[in-house]
Amino acid sequence: MTDQHVLWRSDDAAAATGGASVAPWTATGVSIDTRSLLPGDLFVALRGPNFDGHDYVMEGFTRGAAAAIVARRPPTVPEGAPLLLVDDTFEALRALARCARGRTAGRICAITGSVGKTGVKEALRAVLAQQGPTAASEGNLNNQWGVPLSLTRMGADEAYGVFEMGMNHAGELKPLSRLARPHVAVITNVEAVHKAHFSSVEAIADAKAEIFEGVEGGAEVPGAAVLNRDNPYFPRLRAAAEGAGIARIVAFGRATDAEVRLVEAAIGADGSRIRASVFGSILDFSIAAPGAHWVMNSLCVLAAADALGADVARAAAGLVQVAAPDGRGRRMIIQLPGGAFKLIDDSYNASPVSMAAAFDVLGRIAPDAAGRRIAVLGDMLELGDDAPSLHAALAEPLRASGIDLVFTAGRDMAHLAAALPATMRGGHAEDSARLVPLVEAAVRPGDVVCVKGSAGSRMGVVVRALRAREADLDVERPRSATPG
């Protein structure tokens, strides 16, 4: 969608929401946060437990908002400003989302899972965009606000829509799926994540299966569920999909009866070469994102592409251009005096399964010269009573992957620090901010450093500090210096 493309008009938005427009307007986008608002956006003034978007409406206009959806006119906003007055701004956002979904003939995919959903979403988005206009969730917009917002940003002319859906409590996915009405629902896997909010992993599987509630299909694209055949909860998920009336189940994995099956993979430090059987046809392709987990992600992407009616061979060829998203394994080279080190930013989220995958990736990368493999780890959250033992258990996959030095931050990571042999202990701190100076003092040219933790452990603080070291180096360079 270009800046000139009109996404919403005042009359259409008023009809969708049942609101009243004070003045005519057109919008090229939709925003619920003035910090990321772009000129031409329609600003929706949501109210939450700790904020009220009405307090920021005037800031939105200052930043170039085309109009604002409000339940009342804020006193700072002049009369005659382009407002759409509604009874409830959140319900208005959902109404716009329903309207956007209803006016598109595009094929819609909804994605959830304990791990891998963002990576799969971004990879599927990339390969589908090569075959037609594609809308998708931006970043982590996967909750009760993010999903309807993402839908409102979908144009009527999209060929595909790819929307991520997250949850950490039962009952959260059902309304999101019913709002999006996907043709294809994907569950990447089910693991013991968010265990603090569930009585069992089976209960987590049942909550993930709520994504099937909104699935609908037609003659061209039958409703389908894409599931991980290797996951122990596959039978439970398949039964739930069938119970929701979904006739087509597409399985991916290593299992011999998976429709999209891994035949072999050569996993390297910078990506993998893969041979897969896709409904009996052999496909050879490469992926740029490294790690065994990305091999599985690629199979999931191909299964979803097929379920959406896309060209699977073309999608497989497009995977070579897909890199790991920001905060989920993105790599950088950071210059230091005397050399550089490699930084892997995996700071967005963490679970025991994704930690092991990150260690495997780190272990496959050879440090330069006298460099070391360094893991900088923050707490894995929402693991319930098992958190201490699950953190301590990370010592074995770290050792098996050949990690030289481990820095830890947080109450639960203290259990890992205690379980590590003394030679692997880099240092421990109460939180990520206090860990920064310990890591900065240790990192040297030639090292490979992976930073990982749950979003709430704020390990991005460490990433930003390490990246700032290169910025500081740039400042110190002589004015006459030229790029090498």
424-433 pLDDT per residue, tens: 999 999 999 9
Local confidence band at 25 (pLDDT 50, 70, 90 cut-offs): very high
Confidence at residue 358, expressed as pLDDT on a 0 to 100 scale: 94
Written as six digits, the tokens of 147 are 């999903």
Nearest to 224 by CA among 108, 128, 113: 108
Location of structure tokens 């003092």 = 441
pLDDT score at 478: 31
**Would you say the C-alpha torsion 151, 207, 378, 432 has a positive or negative sign?**
positive
Query: What tens digit of pLDDT does each residue of 111-122 get?
Result: 999 989 999 999
Say if residue 2's pLDDT is above 50. Answer: no
* Nearest-angstrom CA–CA distance, 80 and 71: 15
Q: Which of 38-47, 195-204, 417-426 has the lowest mean pLDDT?
A: 195-204
- Model confidence over 328-338: pLDDT tens digits? 888 999 999 98
The confidence score (pLDDT) of residue 270 equals 87
Matching residue, tokens 């603090």: 196
Beta-bridge partners for 248: 224
**Which domains occur in the chain, in start order?**
8-89 (3.40.1390.10), 104-321 (3.40.1190.10), 330-472 (3.90.190.20)
The whole-number average pLDDT for the span 206-215 is: 98
Residue 324: band (very low, low, confident or very high) from pLDDT cuts 50, 70, 90: confident
% pLDDT > 90, the chain? 85
pLDDT band at 5 (very low <50, low <70, confident <90, very high): confident
Element (H, E) at 295: helix 292-307
What predicted TM-score, i.e. pTM, was given to this entire model?
0.87
Name the strand (E) or helix (H) holding 225.
Answer: strand 224-228
Checking if the pLDDT of 231 tops 50, the result is yes
Is pLDDT of 373 > 90? Answer: yes
Q: Could you tell me which of 16, 51, 13 has the C-alpha nearest to residue 29?
A: 13
The 10 Å Cβ neighbour count of residue 483 is 3
The neighbouring-strand residues paired with 111 are 164, 186
Q: pLDDT tier at 480 (50, 70, 90 boundaries)?
A: very low
Rg of the chain taking only CA atoms, in angstroms: 24
Q: How far apart are CA 273 and CA 297, in angstroms?
A: 13
Residue 248 has pLDDT above 60, yes or no: yes
Which H or E run includes 293?
Answer: helix 292-307
Higher pLDDT pick, 164 / 455: 164
74-97 mean pLDDT: 96
Count how many Cα atoms sit within 13 Å of the Cα of residue 45 in the half-sphere of its side chain: 26
Q: What is the DSSP string of 97-149?
A: HHHHHHH---EEEEEE-SSSHHHHHHHHHHHHHTTS-EEE--TT--STTHHHH
Residue 475 has pLDDT above 50, yes or no: no
Q: Which residues pair with 110 in a beta bridge?
A: 163, 185
Per residue, what are the HEC states of 408-460? EECCCHHHHHHHCCHHHEEEEECCHHHHHHHHHHHCCCCCEEEEECCHHHCCH
Check residue 4 and give its pLDDT: 55
Q: Of 439, 431, 365, 359, which Cα lies nearest the Cα of 407?
A: 439
SS3 14: helix
Measured CA to CA, the distance from residue 164 to residue 34 in angstroms comes to: 22
Which pLDDT does position 473 carry in this prediction? Answer: 54
**CB atoms near residue 329 (< 10 Å):** 25
